[in-house]
Each structure stands twice: as C-alpha cells, then as structure tokens.
Structure 1
Amino acid sequence: MVLLGTLINALLIIVGTIIGRLLKNIPENMKQTVMYAIGLAVTVIGLQMGFESGYFLIVIISLVFGAVIGEWIDLDGKLNRFGHWLESKVGKNKKGENISIAQGFVSATLIFVIGSMAVIGSLDSGLRNDHDLLIVKGLIDGFTSIILATTLGIGVLLSAVPVVLYQGTIALFATQISRFIPDQALELFIQEMTATGGIMIVAIGLNMIGLTKIRVANLLPGIMVVAIVVTIVYQFQLVSLPS
C-alpha cells in the first residue's frame, strides 16, 4: 500500500495531539521553556539540513524567488485565513487560551510538512514501497505534536490533513517519477530541496523562540523554484553532477 507510511504518520500526529491536550494543565513557565527548547532543536535541525546543499546558489535563488511569489499571492495570509475559518467552525479553546486554532494549524503544518524526511520518505514509499522512513518521521512528529498541542492547542491535530495531502501526493507521483526523471536530477533536487527547506525550518525555530516574526509560509513556493532551477541546471549541465 503506497500510502501506508503517510497514513501512519498522520495517525501519530493525531494521537500525539490528543495526548498533548490531556496534558495541557502543565504550568505556563514549563510550557514556555519546553517551547523554547523545541525551537532551539528545530533551528539546529534546520541548520543541519541547510548545510547539505552542494550548490548554495540554487538555494539562494529558490528562496528569493519563492519569497517574491509567496508575498505576491500572500500564501501566509491565506493559510492563516483558512485556519481562522476552521476556528470559526470548530470554536475557540474552551478556557480562553490565547493560542488560536489557526496558529496551531499553521505552525504545526510548516514543521511537519517541510523537510527532507517528508520528501525522501514519500519517495521511498512510492518508488520502493518502503515505509520505514515515514514511520520514523511519524514517531518524531507524534512526540513533537504532544509538546506543540500543550502550547498551540487543538489546531495541531488539523495539520494531519496537509501532511496526508502533501506526502500522499508525492508518494503517488513517485510511483511514476522514475520513468520521467533521471536519477542524477532527482538526487540533485532532493539535496537542494533539503537545504532550502532547512533554512525555512531555521526560520520556524527562530519564530518559536520569539526572536523573529518571519512569514515562513511565504517562502514555501521556493520548493517549486528548486525543482525549476534543478531542471534547468540538469538540462544545460551547468554544474558537474555526481555519477
């Protein structure tokens, strides 16, 4: 089953969120410190991913053009409006918590969707019917969702939907991708997409710590730009590709 890994990933996010809500009476100072700790860890993970780039110019171009596209279409605003719409349908947190469903949905979605494990794991599911990586990612996401849910609310649970759509689409597409994309081009895309996504992860971590207010969602089109730039680089052999 091609979507097995993706569905397990989403299920673990849901379970983690429910557990997190049951533990929501954790003292505020503890929640804040834990959130800072997660933010620091997310930042380090992002840095590690960012250093995986072999051609950092591709990353810069992708981020710049991705930011232009994202700001032009106001992707961050649309995601937040969608989250607020969901909030209006579901209702606010019963105890008047100041963290909205919208914030939980957007923040958790960005954390769970961006990253090398999502793409590589989905490709493994589609190309080799190997779900191990997505299951490992699901365990990490589930643990993270426990902590996020204690601070960001039930909106974290809703992030399971874009996880299924995003990873499921890649997995289904991957069943056919090897017939159209050469291995070298695919390897280069994964490498540079990982680095580009890593920088976005750094931004998320800094936002969680409270040092910045970067509209990270508006950087997401950079992933598509990576694909376009890699295609151009491969077609015209602008860099020496690994054999």
Structure 2
Amino acid sequence: MIPTGSLVNGAAIIGGSIIGILLHSRFPDRIREIIFQALGLGVMLIGIQMSLKVQDILVLMFSLLIGGVLGELLRLDTMFERGASWIKSKVGSNDTGFVDGIITSSLIFCIGAMAIIGSFEEGINGDTTILYTKSILDGFASIALASSYGVGVLFSFIPVILYQGALTIFASSFQEWFSPLMISQLTACGGLLIIGISLTLLEIKRINLSNLLPSLGMVIVLTFFFSQ
C-alpha cells in the first residue's frame, strides 16, 4: 500500500521549513532563544501526556534499559550524525546547525503519539485523519524549528516518510499484534523520549536520544511476550 498520510506529512514539513528558512536570518538571537524555550515547554507537556498512558511500568523501564544498551552497542548516534553530514555534503550546505536541525526535528516529528497511532490507523483501517492533522501541526512546528536551526530541518521529511511509511506498511501486515495495550505502551515509551527532547531544547540536559530509539522496538517485543 502507498503511505499517503506520510507523504502528505513530508510535504507539509518541506513547506513549513521553507517559510522558516526565509525567516531565519530575520530573527535576532533573543527571539530564537525564546522560540526554543517555548518549543521545549510544549514538547515536554506532550511527552508527559503520552508517558502517562503507561500500563506496565516495569516493561517500559526494561525496554528503555535494553534499548539504550543496544543503541550504544550499535552506535546509532554516530550513524545518524554521519547520515546527516552526508546529506549536508550532498546539498552543499554551510549551515552550522544543519546536523542538529535534521536530527532534532526528525526525533520530534517521528517519536510522537500521532506518528505512531496515525501510521497504525492508516495501515489497519485506511484512515489518514490523524496523519493529516499531524501534517498541519508539523508544518507549523517546522516553521519555528527552521527559523532557529536552519535548512537542516527541511530534510527531516526523509526520515519522517521512511519511518511512518514503514509503520503503516508493517501495521497493515501484522494487524493482530497491535492491541490497545501494545499501543499504550508504545505511546508511553515515545512520551519519555519526547521528554528527553524537551530537556535538550531547554538546555537542561542533553540526552543521547538516538541511542535510546531501540527502546521503541523493545517495548513492542516485551509487551507482546509478557501479555501472552
């Protein structure tokens, strides 16, 4: 199947990023700083709301621990940085915030509940409503992100389409796996990672979120195993 919702989401990110890039040079540093603070607080609230959907906190904790160790062993952070640097070299960008922009915005756009649940809804029921709504929100968010980080945010459409598209296709093939419990646990795990993003945006603590991404896969495996 064609992941229409993800393609529309990618287009919205491109459109919003272009507007943000045009505004980028017009914003003084103090405006960029307040944008980061506002984004950080908003992202933290989203993460808290998502994480409170947890049903089995022990499974969630073990998922984070095992996923984090696996991510460190695989050095996912280095892989993502190399990928972002490769894209930067191919487009010939001199933007110093390019790598941070593409990684941070990709995490924000990909980890959220709407990305997960919306992709599942399209894959299982053919309903793109959630992803279309997410597209509008991401379009506006990308304006703010691109106005601060620059052109790197625009290229976050690539991981968004790949990630959400893969979830949609996966969900359409393995519908029986995704019970309400599974979706709640996956949403809660994503929520904790989003709180990590907010801590980085607010410059409280830089958390290596790239290496924690395998936690999303581990929570699926462990929830399925312990629910049997």
Q: 1:176, CA displacement in angstroms?
A: 2.3
Pick one of 141, 144, 148 that aligns with 1:144: 141
> What CA distance in whole angstroms lies between the structure 2 residues aligned with 1:208 and 1:59?
24
Q: 1:77, CA displacement in angstroms?
A: 1.4
Question: Runs of 4+ in structure 1 displaced over 3 angstroms?
Answer: none
Matched, 1:204 2:201: no
Q: Give the structure 1 partner of residue 114 of structure 2.
A: 117
Across the two proteins, how many residue pairs are aligned to each other? Answer: 227
Percent identity for Structure 1 against Structure 2: 39
Q: What are the within-5 Å matches in structure 2 for residues 122-133 of structure 1?
A: 122-133=119-130
Matched, 1:187 2:184: no
Q: 1:227, CA displacement in angstroms?
A: 1.0
Matched, 1:157 2:140: no
Q: Give the structure 2 partner of residue 59 of structure 1.
A: 60
Q: Give the structure 1 partner of residue 11 of structure 2.
A: 11
> What CA distance in whole angstroms lies between the structure 2 residues aligned with 1:31 and 1:194?
30
Which has the higher Rg, Structure 1 or Structure 2? 1
Q: Give the structure 1 partner of residue 21 of structure 2.
A: 21
> What CA distance in whole angstroms lies between the structure 1 residues aligned with 2:78 and 2:173?
34
Q: 1:2, CA displacement in angstroms?
A: 4.4
Letter of the 2:159 partner, please give it: P
DSSP-derived class of the 2:161 partner: helix
Structure 2 stretches lacking a partner, 5+ long: none
User: Are the aligned partners of 1:2 and 1:126 in contact in 2 as well (CA < 8 Å)?
Assistant: no
Structure 1 stretches lacking a partner, 5+ long: 236-243
DSSP-derived class of the 1:23 partner: helix
Q: 1:234, CA displacement in angstroms?
A: 1.8
Q: 1:98, CA displacement in angstroms?
A: 3.9
Q: Give the structure 1 partner of residue 223 of structure 2.
A: 230
TM-score by length of 1: 0.90
Letter of the 1:136 partner, please give it: T
Q: Give the structure 2 partner of residue 173 of structure 1.
A: 170
> What CA distance in whole angstroms lies between the structure 1 residues aligned with 2:122 and 2:2?
6
Matched, 1:106 2:107: no
TM-score by length of 2: 0.95
Pick one of 132, 137, 142 that aligns with 1:135: 132
